[in-house]
Amino acid sequence: MKQYWENLTDKEYYELCLERSHFWSNMSLNEYESRCANFKLKWENRPDSEKEDLKEIYRKSIRKSFGCKESWIEKACKTDLNKLGYKPLSQHSSLFIDLYVPELNLAVELYGTYWHSDPRKYDESILHPHRKLTSKEIWNKDAKKQNEILKYHNLIIIWERDYSLDVLVRSIQETNLASPKGFNLWTSLTSLKK
């Protein structure tokens, strides 16, 4: 499976990732929970040695998207930023920014529906099965990181469900048009500058 994904062209990879994104974001909560329960059952039935091997792979940052080092949204965003003439850097600084655009002093955070508990899908009291935090705790943790980033950079946050080239372009334009008196935050969740 990993070899299949590594042999895809960038365009094929991008299209498949967009397709997968729509599949997951349009899935009902019941179906999603059922899939999670099935995955948990398969995981529990694996031999311990296999579990340790998989944990080691994860520890080495081979995550998401069947062994790719970048998630589909990170790869799509990086490709789109290159198309727009920018040279983004991955995992910039000790703040672990998803992408950084030096020309604009712009941090780009790409929030997955599941890992960041998109408030349009998750109630604040829901306990995240992997992060062991409630949605509200995840949002507070994200807000703390955002405030840290805003001490040094402009910041845009694009949620997985909202990602498109148009949204990326609009976020960059609106951030550039913002007041130069301080660093600015733009998020696709509300499409408002904060």
SS3 for the chain is CHHHHHCCCHHHHHHHHHHHHHHHHCCCHHHHHHHHHHHHHHHHCCCHHHHHHHHHHHHCCCCCHHHCCCCHHHHHHHHHHHHCCCCCEEEECCCCEEEEEHHHCEEEEEECCCCCCCCCCCCCCCECCCCCCEHHHHHHHHHHHHHHHCCCCEEEEEEHHHCCHHHHHHHHHHHHHCCCCCCCEEECCCCEEC
Q: Is the pLDDT of residue 188 over 60?
A: yes
> What pLDDT sits at residue 167?
92
Residue 54 banded pLDDT, cuts 50, 70, 90: low
Q: Which residue has the higher pLDDT, 136 or 177?
A: 136
Q: Is the pLDDT of residue 152 over 60?
A: yes
108 - beta bridge partners?
99, 156
User: Taking the C-alpha atoms of 36, 42, 44 and 45 in order, what is their torsion angle to the nearest 10 degrees?
Assistant: 170
Mean pLDDT over residues 63-82, rounded? 71
Domain residues for the domain of 8 are 2-193
Comparing CA positions, the residue from 95, 101, 105 lying closest to residue 78 is: 101
186 - beta bridge partners?
156, 193
Residue 55 banded pLDDT, cuts 50, 70, 90: low
Q: Is the pLDDT of residue 116 over 50?
A: yes
Token duo for residue 79: 């490709």
Mean pLDDT over residues 61-75, rounded? 57
| 65-69, 135-139, 158-162, 170-174: least confidently modelled range | 65-69
- State the total domains in the chain: 1
Residue 181 banded pLDDT, cuts 50, 70, 90: low
Q: Which residue has the higher pLDDT, 17 or 187?
A: 187
Q: Which residue has the higher pLDDT, 5 or 149?
A: 149
| 42-51, 97-106, 110-119: least confidently modelled range | 42-51
Q: Are 145 and 95 in contact (CB under 8 A)?
A: yes
